[in-house]
Each structure stands twice: as structure tokens, then as C-alpha cells.
Amino acid sequence: MNSSASASSVGGHAGGFAATHRSDNWWLGWVLTAGGLILFFGYLTIRAFQGTYFWSGHGLAYISPAGSPPLFTPASGYPGAVPLSHAWLGAFPRWWPKFIPQSPAFFVPGLAIAFRFTCYYYRKAYYRAFAATPPACAVGGAPLKYRGETALLLFQNLHRYALYGALLLLVFLWYDAFRAFFNEHGRFGIGVGTLVLVINASLLSGYTFGCHSWRHLIGGKLNCFSCDGASKFRYTIWKKSTWYNQRHMLFAWLSLFWVAFTDFYVSMVSRGVITDLNTW
């Protein structure tokens, strides 16, 4: 997929799809990005439709981030479902359509999807991976008309509002991590699952607090960073956010991988396939 002698020259670049003068393995990032997005989002989508094994009450109480917070829980027929006593609004309502699985993943985790889908980093990732317009810098793109966020993708400007949902979700995920230090009867303990859930909440915090919208929210619209206590405080938070922002892609991938891994771990403990090592 390197430069083609027959490719026409467009503004100094090679013309035609995937044509380029680059001599490095530019396609590797493209393939890895597309593969990673399909793998992790595919896994989480399948798990959302399964609606099972989101909860493990053997020993310490673990809940999968894919099903948290559980607004509703199925009354029966879904092994590993969150107990009724832990569902925020009780059992799924009678009017819930029979052809849609009773999965708690269809509610609040949607906030996380909205946040990631409109994220500035993910926009670049999925444009390149799936629309390939272009697939990489200085590489010929697919013959699609790119109009940025002025047409179909206009909704991406809602990212700043998706941030509020993500911040709310973080509260629930830290609560789940805190709950993972206790069993169902309130007895304290630490297990491998506890650490998995704490790392999950930490990585998602790193991703969320590196968000461009968060950085603007906390440090924007200020003319002076040192005029009073409030502006100095905001400057301190802004500098920390900048550190995360510079590593936003890293946290985007680490947190995505770890959400899937956390769900996998909780589901395996819930099924009894893995025995959680813990102090309980």
C-alpha cells in the first residue's frame, strides 16, 4: 500500500485510496485501531445483549461496569443478575418488551457510549479506521465527501453535555469500587476483584479528567489564573487535567480495555469459572 508510480499527484501527495509517499508502516495504526474498536466495543455490545453474570456475590460484592448502575434487574431467567435488593428501581417493569433482553446495560452505560462516541480522540480514530477519509496522515483517502461536523456528524458537538453524564457515571463506578471492599453483609475484605474494580474506576477517571471539555470547563473563560483563590485553584486543577489530556489516547485505550476486562473478570467469578482470591 505504499506509493504507486501511477498515482496522480494531489497537492504534493500521492492520489488514490491508500496511495502515499510514506515509507513507514502507516497502515499498522489503522489496522490496530479498527481491530481494537471492533474487538472491545463488539465484546461489550454482546455482553449488553446477554444481560447475564453482571454480579458476583460469592464473597465480596462485585458488579460489572457494563451493568452499572443497575436501575432495573430481571426478576428471573438471567443467571448472575444483580439481586433485586441492589437494583435502584427494582425489577424490570411489566411493559418491558419481551423481545428486548432485560439487561441493565441498556440504561446508564449508554452515557459512557455517548461520551466515547463524541470524544475528540475517538472521532479521529473511527473516521480513520472505518471511513478512511483518510486512513492516516498523507495517505490517500476513500472517495467519500468529508464534511466534518457540519452534516450527519453535527451531534458530536454535544460532547460537552455527554461529559456531565460521564462525570455522573464515575460517581457510580467509584461507589462500586468502594462496595467491592465489602461482602453482602457489610464485612470488610480485599480481593483481586476489588483491585480490578479500583483500577477500572481510576483509569476511567484518568480518561474523563483528560477530556478537552473538562479542561475547558475547569480552566476556560478565565482572564487570570492568579488573581484570587478560586482562579488559583482552577489553575491547579487545569494543570492536572492538562497532564491527563496529553495522554488522552493512552487513557482512552487503557480504560476501554480495562472495562472489558473487568466485565470479563466479574462474569467469570460469577459463573464460578474463576475463584476470586480475597481476604474474606
Stretch binding ligand FES (CB under 6 A), from 7-15, 178-186, 193-201, 206-214: 206-214
Q: Does 218 bind ligand FES (CB under 6 A)?
A: no
Stretch binding ligand FES (CB under 6 A), from 19-27, 150-158, 195-203, 208-216: 208-216
Stretch binding ligand FES (CB under 6 A), from 31-39, 93-101, 116-124, 254-262: 116-124
In angstroms, what is the minimal distance from the CB of 248 to ligand FES? 6
> CB atoms < 10 A from the CB of 8, how many?
11
Cell of 85: 435488593
User: 15 vs 165, which CB is nearer to ligand FES?
Assistant: 165
Peptide bond connecting 69 to the previous residue in cis, omega within 30 degrees of 0: yes
The site string for ligand FES over 237-256 (x = CB under 6 A, - otherwise) reads: -----------x--------
| DSSP-assigned states of every residue in 14-82 | EPSTT-BS--S-HHHHHHHHHHHHHHHHHHHHHHHHH----EE-SSB-EE-GGG-S-SSB-SSS-TTPP
- Exactly one of 18, 173, 211, 260 binds ligand FES (CB under 6 A); that residue is 211
- Exactly one of 68, 194, 200, 213 binds ligand FES (CB under 6 A); that residue is 213
The answer for residues whose C-beta is within 8 angstroms of residue 31's C-beta and 6 or more apart is none
C-alpha of 41 from chain center = 9
Task: Write down the residue that cell numbers 466515547 correspond to.
Answer: 116
User: 83 vs 110, which CB is nearer to ligand FES?
Assistant: 110
DSSP 8-state code for residue 223: S
Grouping H, G, I as helix, E, B as strand and the rest as coil, residue 156 is helix
The site string for ligand FES over 141-180 (x = CB under 6 A, - otherwise) reads: ------------------x---------------------
Grouping H, G, I as helix, E, B as strand and the rest as coil, residue 161 is helix
User: 119 vs 256, which CB is nearer to ligand FES?
Assistant: 119
- Exactly one of 48, 119, 169, 173 binds ligand FES (CB under 6 A); that residue is 119
Strands 62-63 and 9-10: unpaired
Binding site for ligand FES (CB under 6 A): 115, 119-121, 159, 211-213, 248
